[in-house]
Amino acid sequence: MNPRRMAAKMSCCWMTAVCFIAQLWTLIYAQALYHNDMHQQHFFNQDSSEVVLQTLLNNMETLLSEENMELTDIRTREKLVSQRYQEILSLYNTKDVPDGEYPGKSCMSAHCIPCSSQNPDCRQQEDGLQSWPFRLGSSWYVVCVNGRATETGSCPDDKEWNTTSLPYEGHCVHRFAVPTVYNPAGALPSCEGKIDGNYQYPERPCDAYYTCRCGVASAVKCPGNTLFDVENKRCQTGGRCTNT
């Protein structure tokens, strides 16, 4: 064989071998890179899962903490409500009531209207129907129970006596049965210094009179069309009354 041709053939074989080795090395390196990438991807996915899990745990912890605070607030409110309820029961059992004073709402000017003029005070009043303290000259009344005002209203007019009614001794009665010393709007005179007997009303001398017994005055209405007779001191038909 020609030495030159043999050398060329050997050179070609070497080139082929080098190319093969290069391709083999590239394949091996690529496989190594693949495994390395897969390994890194595995750790990346694992780290991502751990981050997500930690975030969920943190969110759950925050949520539980908030719910615990809400439960604490609810228990606190329930405790306060229970305490107030027990205080109310205690007041009811002892018949004690709050004084109703509110310093924070005190009137700071001279023109302020007293609260008792619109909301009657029963702290110093007996139980039952009473005259409204700040409306003493009117027909307004208040019903007191255990020092508390439970009802307010106005006494209706008296049809028999044809006059207004006023609160007196637990009832609404016509003004001629209410002593003037008890209520300035009353019209029943005092029997102080008078002997027992019948007397004319100063402002209603004919169809009614008041009688004094042991110093106590009481009202009497003449029946029908009778009039109070000044001589006989009683109601009679055709009685002669004198306006005084």
- Same-domain pairing of 144 and 162: yes
| Total of domains in the chain | 3
pLDDT reported for residue 79: 81
207 part of a folded domain: yes
- Which residues span the domain enclosing 170? 116-188
Give 20-60 pLDDT, tens digit per residue: 666 666 666 666 665 665 655 555 555 666 776 777 777 77
35 part of a folded domain: no
Residue bearing the bigger pLDDT, 227 or 77: 227
Please report which confidence band the pLDDT of residue 178 belongs to, taking 50, 70 and 90 as the band edges: very high
* Alpha carbon distance 202, 56 (integer Å): 95
Q: Which of 97-111, 128-142, 169-183 has the lowest mean pLDDT?
A: 97-111
Q: Which of 17-21, 64-68, 101-105, 206-210 has the lowest mean pLDDT?
A: 101-105
Residue 244 tokens, joined: 């005084």
6 part of a folded domain: no
Mean per-residue pLDDT over the chain, rounded = 78
* Alpha carbon distance 11, 155 (integer Å): 138
Across residues 7-31, what is the average pLDDT? 61
- Same-domain pairing of 86 and 53: yes
129, 172 Cβ separation under 8 angstroms:
yes
- Same-domain pairing of 233 and 195: yes
141, 152 Cβ separation under 8 angstroms:
yes
The 10 Å Cβ neighbour count of residue 221 is: 16
Across residues 99-104, what is the average pLDDT? 50
- The dihedral over CA atoms of 192, 195, 197, 202, expressed in degrees to the nearest 10, equals -40
pLDDT reported for residue 102: 46
144 part of a folded domain: yes
Across residues 170-190, what is the average pLDDT? 93
Among 188, 208, 228, identify where a domain stops.
Answer: 188
Residue bearing the bigger pLDDT, 108 or 23: 23
80 part of a folded domain: yes
pLDDT above 90 covers what percent of the chain?
34
Among 146, 167, 188, identify where a domain stops.
Answer: 188
- Same-domain pairing of 126 and 166: yes
- Same-domain pairing of 122 and 162: yes
Give 193-232 pLDDT, tens digit per residue: 999 999 999 989 999 999 999 999 999 999 988 999 999 9
- Same-domain pairing of 124 and 146: yes
177 part of a folded domain: yes
Position 161 pLDDT exceeds 90: yes
- Same-domain pairing of 143 and 171: yes
Top mean pLDDT of 75-84, 97-106, 126-135 is at 126-135
- Same-domain pairing of 126 and 179: yes
28 part of a folded domain: no
Position 151 pLDDT exceeds 70: yes
- Same-domain pairing of 213 and 232: yes
